[in-house]
Amino acid sequence: MPTLVSHPDEVKVISRRFGQGAADIEKYLELDGYKAVQRAIAEGPEWIINTMKASGLRGRGGAGFPTGMKWSFVPKVSEKPKYVLVNGDESEPGTCKDHVLFLHDPHSIIEGTMIAGLAIGSRLGFIYLRGEYRYLLKIVEKAVADAYAKGFLGKNIFGSGIDFDIITQTGAGAYEVGEESALMESLEGKRGVPRIKPPFPAVVGLYGGPTVINNAETIANAPHILLMGGEAYAKLGTERNGGTRLFGISGHVERPGVYELPMGYSLRKAIYEVAGGIKDGKKLKAVVPGGSSCPVLTADEIDVGLDFDQMGKAGTMLGSGGIVVLDETVSIVEFALRVISFYQHESCGWCIPCREGTDWIKKTLTRVHAGGGSKKDIDNVQYLAENMMGRTFCPLGDAAAMPTLGFVKKFRKEFEEYIDGKRVDTPLITIDQLVGAH
Amino acid sequence: MSTVANTIFSPELAARFDHLVTIYPLSRSALVPMLLYAQDEIGYVSDAAVAEIAQRLDLVELEVRNVLSYYSMLRTKPAGKYNVQVCTNISCMLRGGYKILDHCKETLGIGHKQTTPDGVFSLEEVECIGACCWAPAMQINYDFHEDLTPEKVDVLFQMYRDGQGKDVK
């Protein structure tokens, strides 16, 4: 069972029910559960969307798209049924926040799904969890069943005359399915390969119908926002970055864990105060600030606020909120190789720049890491990564290229040390080890 | 109700499948869960399971195999009773994930995607399992084990050998 952590700087909105047994519907009801959805029914779709817009909530999956605006893009009238899709395929390395959310507050996700449904005029929502999260799927399934038993889901919810159903779904192991259109393919019983956009899901999504797809944390924010008011939520964060978010701080820190911090909170403080500083008194070397796809920050670059815009200005991304901390002992070459190996493994093979690029970079870095590279290899890795950017259907190609560029540009010296034979590590990567690499 | 004769699944699973194919706007949406649940029961997705699932969803077998080959958790060959999945992705790697993997290899005497001769354990190096803040972590079947040390792994393996391990399905 994941350990719950706490720190005085936390602002608990979405995590306020953690550790209180709120997976139980009675406890959830005691803690203001299912009040927001009733308010939403009373006030109507326009009010919901305006409140969400005012909250400044931006997508917590990583892209940071304003949620209220996303909901407003769904056409009011549609011949095909509309759907709400909750993305709980949490797979970005360094990210485990939805894990905690599903475990401690599954009803907030159900209630949020209902609210999104009311906002766009949908009658059916799906909650999709990655296949590895079976024990969490059980928890969500029980929560959904309990909500049906209470009459909160199904026909005529809360006497509104509106029907709303929720189906839970399991994946079966695929990072790529976390991408919204690939997730829809998977939910339609197909290989999780991405669709070309446009059309966007808000117009043509699941089963060809208009679809709102949101990350589980994004959806779970909706009930809190409706109860506290959009402006009040927005004020917790920074300009254009409303509210709080769950940050999973992992790697070389003293107190790893999932913490809820206001948007814009200092990255330095998150590492040194909230997570207790670098493990065993070592020095900080680098930070991957928002899941493995985000360009690395060096130890000198951490005086930055954790919101989408400030992180963008710093040349990286807020991403999924998974902050991975590297101490001075870490070999960046080895780390970069592990990251690209992941993306090479997970590339679905649909787009050639991603399929070939990840493989080629992995092979090159394997050679460099084993002490057999040449200076040209570093330029070649950079050239490959630059040419993957923006040339694929989905962002997996970018997700592989961006961190690679960061490592090569900011730690070029370390790559050169390997090539000059000043550093040789035992090759680490054991999956598909290259034969005769030297 | 399905008209497909059940030959290989337990009555409970067959009943679950009968229900699953009815709940979605399109029955094919049940495919990925059905493959996974079939594997949970049989240990892998056998040819017979592919044939029956295809029939239940009115798909050709090739379509089912096409989907089956995409998802990393699905396998077409038996694994051990307990599939040990050690994460070595970045957060786990930083906190000793590879040490845990090596320890598992040594203790069980098997490598990646291999099974012990007695069929009790199989081993897999896996990508991020979403337990980054409690690293290093692994899953044995669906059960998560966190903050691992080699000593903890030894205790766990003994528990599973003694039939005391949890087996979440």
In a domain, B19, yes or no: yes
What pLDDT, on a 0 to 100 scale, did the predictor assign at position B165? Answer: 81
For residue A435, pLDDT beyond 60:
no
Q: Looking at chain B, which residue has its C-alpha nearest residue A89?
A: B130
Task: Name the residue facing A430 among B24, B74, B125 (closest C-beta).
Answer: B125
> Tell me: the pLDDT tens digits for A179-227?
999 999 999 999 999 999 999 999 999 999 999 999 999 999 999 999 9
In a domain, A5, yes or no: no
In a domain, B73, yes or no: no
Out of A185, A206, A235, a domain closes at: A235
Same domain, residue pair A264 and A217: no
> Domain containing B128 — which CATH number?
3.40.30.10
Domain holding A288, by residue range, is 244-327
Task: Name the residue facing B132 among A95, A130, A188 (closest C-beta).
Answer: A95
Is A63 exposed, middle or buried, given 0-12, 13-18 or 19+ CB atoms closer than 10 A?
middle
Is residue A206 within 8 A of residue A122, CB to CB? The reply is: no
Same domain, residue pair A68 and A160: yes
Same domain, residue pair A101 and A36: yes
Same domain, residue pair A149 and A115: yes
Same domain, residue pair A167 and A307: no
Same domain, residue pair B51 and B90: no
Is A126 exposed, middle or buried, given 0-12, 13-18 or 19+ CB atoms closer than 10 A?
buried
Q: Does A433 touch chain B (CB under 8 A)?
A: no
Same domain, residue pair A136 and A255: no
What pLDDT, on a 0 to 100 scale, did the predictor assign at position B133? Answer: 98
Task: Name the residue facing B130 among A90, A256, A335 (closest C-beta).
Answer: A90
> Tell me: the pLDDT tens digits for A221-257?
999 999 999 999 999 999 999 999 999 999 999 999 9
Residue window 110-149, chain A: list those with CB within 8 Å of chain B.
Answer: 124, 130-135, 138
- At A380, the amino acid letter reads N
Which residues of chain A does B135 touch, with a Cβ-Cβ cutoff of 8 Å? 250-251, 256
Q: Looking at chain B, which residue has its C-alpha nearest residue A329?
A: B94
Residue window 343-372, chain A: list those with CB within 8 Å of chain B.
Answer: 345-346, 348
Residue window 176-205, chain A: list those with CB within 8 Å of chain B.
Answer: 186-192
Smallest Cα distance from B145 to chain A, Å: 8
Same domain, residue pair A313 and A199: no
> Tell me: the pLDDT tens digits for A277-297?
999 999 999 999 999 999 999
What pLDDT, on a 0 to 100 scale, did the predictor assign at position A427? Answer: 57
Same domain, residue pair B54 and B113: no
Could you tell me the CA-to-CA distances from A133 to A71, A122, A150, A268, A354 in Å, in that order? 27, 27, 26, 31, 27
> Tell me: the pLDDT tens digits for B63-93?
999 999 999 999 999 999 999 999 999 999 9
> Tell me: the pLDDT tens digits for A102-122?
999 999 999 999 999 999 999
Collapse the DSSP code of A320 into the 3-class scheme (helix H, G, I; strand E, B; otherwise coil) and give the result. coil
For residue A430, pLDDT beyond 70:
no
ipTM: 0.96
Smallest Cα distance from A386 to chain B, Å: 23
Same domain, residue pair A171 and A198: yes
In a domain, B51, yes or no: yes
- B98–A428 C-beta distance less than 8 A: yes
Which residues of chain B does A345 touch, with a Cβ-Cβ cutoff of 8 Å? 127
Domain holding B54, by residue range, is 11-68
Same domain, residue pair B88 and B157: yes
Same domain, residue pair B123 and B89: yes
Question: Which of B132, B143, B146 to probe the A interface (max A CBs under 10 A)?
Answer: B132
In a domain, B115, yes or no: yes
Same domain, residue pair B87 and B149: yes
Kindly give, in sequence order, each residue whose CB lies less than 8 Å from that of residue A198, ignoring residues fewer than 6 positions away: none
Same domain, residue pair A224 and A359: no
Question: Per-residue pLDDT averaged across A59-82, rounded?
Answer: 96
Our count of domains for chain A comes to 3
In a domain, B150, yes or no: yes
Buried b / exposed e along A351-366 (16+ C-beta atoms within 10 A): bebbbebbbbbbbbbb
Could you tell me the CA-to-CA distances from A290 to A316, A399, A429, B26 in Å, in that order? 9, 11, 23, 36
Same domain, residue pair A303 and A348: no
Out of A302, A327, A352, a domain closes at: A327
Our count of domains for chain B comes to 2
Same domain, residue pair B101 and B62: no
Smallest Cα distance from A335 to chain B, Å: 7
Same domain, residue pair B58 and B87: no
Residue window 410-429, chain A: list those with CB within 8 Å of chain B.
Answer: 428
Task: Report residue A113 as tokens.
Answer: 């799904």
Is residue A182 within 8 A of residue A206, CB to CB? The reply is: no
In a domain, A56, yes or no: yes
Same domain, residue pair B89 and B137: yes
Task: Name the residue facing A135 among B31, B93, B142 (closest C-beta).
Answer: B142
Out of A235, A268, A293, a domain closes at: A235
Alpha-carbon gap, residue B43 to B33, rounded angstroms: 15
> Domain containing A288 — which CATH number?
3.10.20.600
In a domain, A322, yes or no: yes
Q: If pLDDT is split at 50, 70 and 90, which confidence band does A431 have?
A: very low
Same domain, residue pair A321 and A336: no
Same domain, residue pair A145 and A52: yes
